[in-house]
Every structure is written in structure tokens, then in C-alpha cells.
Amino acid sequence: MGLFDFDKVLCPYCYNKYPRSKILWRCDSGKCKKSSELEEDTVYAEYHNIINAAQKRMPHIITNGKPKKGFVKCDKCGEDTNKQICPVCHSVLPATDENIIISVVGGPGSGKSYYVGTLLRQLIQYMSRFGCTIRMPQESRQLYEDRYERNFKEHTVLVKTMAPAENANIVGANLPVLCNITDNKKTRTFTFFDAAGENFDDESIMRYVAPYISHSTAIILLLDPIQIPAVLNTLLTEDPNFVYKEDKEKHSSYEDILMNTANVIHSHLKTKGQIDIPLAVGFSKWDLIENSPSLRPDGVITSPSPHFMNGAFSEDDCDNVSSEIEGLLAHWEYQNFVTLAKQQFKTVKFFGFSAIGSNIMSRTTAPNIVSKRVEDPFLWLLHKKHYID
Ligand SMILES: Nc1nc2c(ncn2[C@@H]2O[C@H](COP(=O)(O)OP(=O)(O)O)[C@@H](O)[C@H]2O)c(=O)[nH]1
Ligand SMILES: [Mg+2]
Ligand SMILES: [Zn+2]
Ligand SMILES: [Zn+2]
């Protein structure tokens, strides 16, 4: 499902869908960009959480543009512009060939923010191995640096994503990060939404995020393996000082998070039966399992990810990892979850990754980031969609 579906446009910021004829345009000329010519844009300000009065002032919006070869004439200054904006939130629409939403869902503390941040970091560093270039629009680049990169460099712990207040506008509270990946044919815009885990706890809050989950090309469901009693008990036996930071928080079960996700899609799209969006089930914090003498499994899962190394996606490696994890889940008495996931989704793969590479031992300082296998679920999706070899 792309951005252009029956000539309808899906905004990657607010996830509203509307006919192409409803698109607005923003003037991009030097004249309309002069500070004396800027106009207050309350819609944009609201959707982007802008409070500063000066920042609310933006170039003129053309509401009745008649596009010719992708350009419209500004009714204020007379110059042409090709900058399309969303009629609902006034965000600039990506001018790329396709728009792909990747939903990252999981409970609070399951590792979503570390996952998104370190995945982007790996993609920026290594996508060229697949002959692709990667570029982030200015606003996303800034978000990536502020939210993730600076913390990684300065060894500070990522702040907890704020849950939006009731009825708050989730887009402004939590802007998604967009990144453009170009191969030798097309440029595709990938939207990563790193939402507060609280959103997925119950169905009523989940409604905020229903449009974006329902329109996503893939869902990455992150699960914290420490939630498995067999895993936590082993870690505690091996190291009585093992502190599990999120210990006191109440956790939804894997089954609940999975079923909430499935139910939201069904009620939003008015569908029934197996869901046709590929589901990657990713176990985070895998370093804890590999570093534990009694939990450490045999098999390829402990080897480094081969895909970037070889510049080619290895289906064998991916299938082996997935069945190894299924085996571990059966061993840990989580067979029911595996069956449920396969009942609800047509395509399911299991992954294990470590975003950080080690445990955060203090409240304030984070170790050097040494990610392992964070890229695997995303590369699987690219491969499945035939975007990479
Ligand atoms: N050992 C280990 N801990 C991790 C890893 N990723 C995240 N964590 C821990 O899990 C906590 C929550 O991660 P975060 O990404 O903020 O979770 P979110 O609430 O789902 O966004 C972090 O503060 C870390 O303590 C990892 O790769 N390894
Ligand atoms: Mg978070
Ligand atoms: Zn929008
Ligand atoms: Zn103008």
C-alpha cells in the first residue's frame, strides 16, 4: 500500500487520507519568504506543537491552485511553486515516488526508542552496501539528531517518550522521522513512528494510532524478553544484583499487545480474518540472553548479521534465526503466543536484536552503542517488497 492509492494521498504526518484535488500548496519564492510577507499558520503550529509566535509565521498558502506540470502560480506574488502541503496539518508532502509507513509497536520500556534510533543509525551508515543512498528531510534530520544521535554520542540515556494527554494531537506531541532511500530506480520515503508504549496498552488509547498502524506496509512488534518468567528468573539466579529497571511497572502480556494491534486494524479498516500486513516480531535486549551462560543459545542467532556485511540479504540466515527463536519460545513455554501471532497475521517472522549491545547500569550514563542485528527486520521487509536483492 503506497501513498498514492486510487489517487488518494496519505499524509505521513497526520495519516489522514484525502483525494489529490484537496492538496494545498505553499509558496516557495523569495518574495513570499521575506519575513515581512510571512503569514501566521495556526494549523501548522498546532500540528507541530509550535508555541513561539515568530515560528508560526510561514510563507503564503495557495488554496485554489490549478497545477500545470506539477507547479501552481502563487496568487500573492505570481511566482510558481511545486511545494505540496497536507490540507489537514499543512506539513510538506514528500515529493518522492512512494511512501511507506513502518509501525513500531510494543509496551512501555520494550525498547522502541532505542530500536528506531539505532536502526536509523545503521541505515545511514550501511545502506550504501545495497547500492542505495539515504537522505533525511531537514526536519527529520533535526529530530534524529536531537532525539537519538546526540544522546548516543554523549552517552546519555534516551528520555522516555511522552504519552500524549487525552485528546492531544499525537502528531505534534511525537513527530515521526522520515527518511528517503533511493535505489537506481526510485526514491521511497519511509516513515518511522516511535510512539509512547502507553498507546498500545488499551484499545481506547490505541485509537489515536489506528490510522497509521492500519496503513503501514509492515508492523514491527517489539517484545522485551525479560517479561518471560523463565528468562527473568534465570537472569536473577545468575546475578542476584541484576536490576530490572522497569520491574515495578505493570506489563501487558505479549498476547494482549498483539490482539490490541490486530483489533485496532480490524476496526479501523472494517476487516476480519488474517491480516495481510507482514509482522516482524522482534525480541529486544538480546545481549542479556547471549551474555547469560544458561540462556545463551547455540545457532546462527549469536553470529553477527550477515546482510550488510555481504551487501545481500540472506534469506537462509533470516529463516534460521526465526525458527531458532520459535524453538526458544516453545522452550520458555510461550508456544501459545507463536500460534496466536500466526493465526492473526499471514506473514510472521521472529527476530532477536540488541540495540545498545549491553545493559544500561546507571540512571544517567549509557554505554557506547554496539548494535547487533537491529537492521534484520527492516532489511527483511525491504527484501520481501523486492526493494533490495
Ligand atoms: N540490555 C539492553 N537494554 C536495553 C536495550 N535497549 C533498550 N534497553 C533498556 O530498555 C529501556 C527502555 O528502552 P526504550 O527504547 O526507551 O523503550 P521504549 O519505552 O519502548 O521506547 C532502556 O532505558 C534500557 O534500559 C538493549 O539493546 N539492551
Ligand atoms: Mg520510547
Ligand atoms: Zn497531514
Ligand atoms: Zn508567493
Say if residue 231's pLDDT is above 90.
Answer: yes
Ligand nearest to the CA of 212: 3
Pairing, β 98-105 against β 187-194: parallel
Whole-angstrom Cα distance, residue 343 to residue 316?
24
Considering every ligand atom, which ligand is closest to the CA of 355?
A: 1
CA dist 314 and 316 (Å) reads 5
**For residue 150, how far is its CA from the centre of ligand 3 (angstroms)?**
28
Taking a 5 Å cut-off on Cβ, the residues next to ion ligand 4 are: 27, 29, 32, 60, 74, 76-77
Distance between Cα 38 and ligand 4 center (Å): 10
| pLDDT over threshold 50, residue 286 | yes
Q: Rounded to two decimals, what is the model's pTM? A: 0.87
Quick check: 206 and 170 in contact, CB under 8 A? no
Domain edges within the chain: 4-85, 98-384
For domain 98-384, the CATH superfamily is P-loop containing nucleotide triphosphate hydrolases (3.40.50.300)
Closest residue by CA, ligand 1 atom 8: 111
**Each residue's pLDDT tens digit, 343-382:** 999 999 999 999 999 888 777 788 889 999 999 999 999 9
Give the binding-site residues of ligand 1, using a 6 Å CB cut-off.
106, 108-114, 157-158, 161, 197, 245, 284-285, 287-288, 354-356, 359-360
Grid coordinates given for 164: 500524549
pLDDT of residue 214: 87
Cα separation, 222 vs 207, whole angstroms: 19
| Secondary structure (DSSP) of 183-228 | -SS-EEEEEEEE--GGGGTSHHHHGGGHHHHHT-SEEEEEE-GGGS
Q: Residues with Cβ < 8 Å from 36, sequence gap 6 or more?
A: none
pLDDT digits (tens, 9 = 90+) for 251-273: 788 998 899 889 888 988 899 99
Instruction: Give the whole-angstrom CA distance, residue 378 versus residue 85.
Output: 28
